[in-house]
Amino acid sequence: MRLLRKLGERIRAFMYGRYGFDELSTVLSVSALILAAVSAFFPPLAILALLPLIWSIFRTYSRNIAKRRAELDAYLKYLGKVKRHISLRRDMWRDRKTHVYFKCPVCKSYLRVPKGKGEITVTCPVCRSKTDRKT
Ligand SMILES: [Zn+2]
């Protein structure tokens, strides 16, 4: 027990001031694992599998916490964009028989209007601009 406690203290002392593991590190490690598994069938991918693994290890032991946080923020921002895009496409497919989706020409946000209403004037809820649209 004393040896385990001592080992724990040494690891804690080593990790002091270092960034540690986060969501991006997990994604990098999992992608390295997937690439390593695929490389069993296609050996040149083994070198490619090392890159996310090395990046993940580097991030975990890095002392530049601000930079690692910025990387995580950029990753989460990108992930949010991808999730919103998938959600929008899913809604567009779900409503394909009852609604029409189009982009506001001014602010580029997506608008949803009922189908089959003829020529209508749509007011964007974001920028309040009016657009004539055939539905
Ligand atoms: Zn708008």
pLDDT tens readout for residues 26-47:
999 999 999 999 999 988 888 8
Per-residue CA distances from 94 to 13, 31, 45, 84, 97 (Å): 54, 31, 38, 15, 8
Q: State the distance from the centre of ligand 1 to the C-alpha of 18, rounded, in angstroms.
A: 45
And the tokens for 103? 């982009």
pLDDT score recorded for residue 6: 95
pLDDT score recorded for residue 25: 96
Q: State the distance from the centre of ligand 1 to the C-alpha of 108, rounded, in angstroms.
A: 6
And the tokens for 101? 């989706």
pLDDT score recorded for residue 45: 84
pLDDT score recorded for residue 44: 85
Neighbours of ion ligand 1 (CB under 5 A): 104, 106-107, 124, 126-127
CA 4 – CA 10 distance, rounded (Å): 10
Q: State the distance from the centre of ligand 1 to the C-alpha of 48, rounded, in angstroms.
A: 43
pTM: 0.76
Q: Where are the domains of the chain?
A: 1-86, 95-135
In the predicted model, residues of the chain with pLDDT beneath 50 are none
CA-closest candidate to residue 21, choices 60, 51, 58, 56: 60
